[in-house]
Amino acid sequence: MRTDVSEELFDRARRVIPGGVNSPVRAFSAVGGTPRFLARGEGAYVHDVDGNRYLDLVGSWGPLICGHAHPSVVAAARSALEAGSSFGASTEGEVLLAEAIVDAVPSCEQVRLVSSGTEAAMSAVRLARAATGRDKVLKFVGHYHGHADALLAAAGSGVATLGIPGSPGVTAGATGDTVLVEWNDPEALREALAVHGDDTAAIIAEPVPANMNLVPPLDGFLATLREQATRHGALLIFDEVISGFRLSRGGAQQLHGVTPDLTVLGKVVGGGFPLAAFGGSAEVMGRLAPEGDVYQAGTLSGNPVAVAAGRAQLDLLTDEVYARLGAVTRRLADGVAAALADAGVPAQVTRHATLAGIVFADDAPVSYADVAAADQGRYAAFFRGMLDRGVYLAPSGFEVVFTSTALTDDDVEVVVDAAAATAAELAAG
């Protein structure tokens, strides 16, 4: 497999871009080797600048639920672009996308469109603080809510992959109002709120964490979050940047029957373009300017090309599509799990609806600590073996497997066969 063009580009990139990448996990630091520079994608596959083709299980880290360059999404974006790339003014497309989100997501009566998940999470927390008149935010160890200062404490995949504690440049004051609790530990949650409940503006969580590999909530834990938030007068924020429109049309909150006060959305909702949103009740969202006194703004918010792509993608997501995507994810996860088990390699392949994760450990993880204690070196070797066999996984053991509607049964067999061959190498080595 050729990599010389990617190697040359990476050398050039490191001269002009910090670390050679514009988002840290792309650098392959955790898995070794040279990051592949991708040139194009089609359906379930991507092609790099060296002419190699890979079956893609990253999907731009989740947005491409319909695969690369889906004709409907491309056509919608092209049509919007031909009419103008940006106006800095209201468009019909913003209204149509907001209506689609409100129709689908149980917690949302109104939404505000923004450009990134970080921006959406940061804004939702600001709104919660204003609505409650409180300062503290309770978050869970390993959950990632973007790189806003207050939420970077004990953040997930990117920070964990690099092995850095939060980030230099984040002051003690910025995180002084952030309360950390272990995921899936209801007693720790109650204890923290017993101390800080009167000062807590919000409990923020990924309802199905996918930034510390895949660690689904234990039975009843999301209901406990809802009950405890209500009991202490805090708002419950679900960060559904990954799970929204992926686990179901209404996200994890619909799948689990637990409705938060505010929801953060991104990735799938933008159809592969920079687009995110946050939403909640009309009463809470009414605090936002210009209707209310909480300021939030963005020149490119509701970009017409991005909202057109997002609308086109959401139109594709029927109940039948989710059923098929769930079945494909199950076959893939079961096949990879069997391949690793047959080779005698200790590993857990977790699955939750249309998400999957691979952890090299004896037991399925229930917290960030479990994932951190897993064999990351073995994941790196598995990643390299799969890449050599034409399967592109996330270059970090703290990330998940993203399937798409473009995957066929034959594609799943390609993944399973590659896993079997790679597992045999791991067992022998």
Selecting among 144, 322, 368, 379, the annotated active-site residue is: 144
Region of 63 (left: φ > 0; alpha: ψ -120 to 50; beta: rest) is: alpha
DSSP symbol at 234: P
- Side chain identity at residue 175, one-letter code: T
Strands ordered across the beta sheet of 401-402 = 348-352, 355-359, 401-402
Selecting among 239, 261, 370, 411, the annotated active-site residue is: 239
Distances (CA, A) of 277 to 114, 250, 266, 288: 5, 14, 6, 13
Q: Is-catalytic flag, 239?
A: yes
User: What is the per-residue DSSP string for 110-136?
Assistant: EEEEES-HHHHHHHHHHHHHHHHT--E
Find, among 317, 392, 313, the residue nearest to 354 by Cα: 317
Q: Is-catalytic flag, 136?
A: no
Q: Is 415 exposed, middle or buried (0-12, 13-18, 19+ CB in 10 A)?
A: buried
Q: Is-catalytic flag, 54?
A: no
d(CA 88, CA 83): 14
Tokens of 364: 């399925």
Contact 398, 370 (CB under 8 A): no
Half-sphere exposure of 173 (CA within 13 A, CB side): 0
Selecting among 48, 139, 177, 267, the annotated active-site residue is: 267
Q: Which residues are known to be catalytic?
A: 144, 239, 267
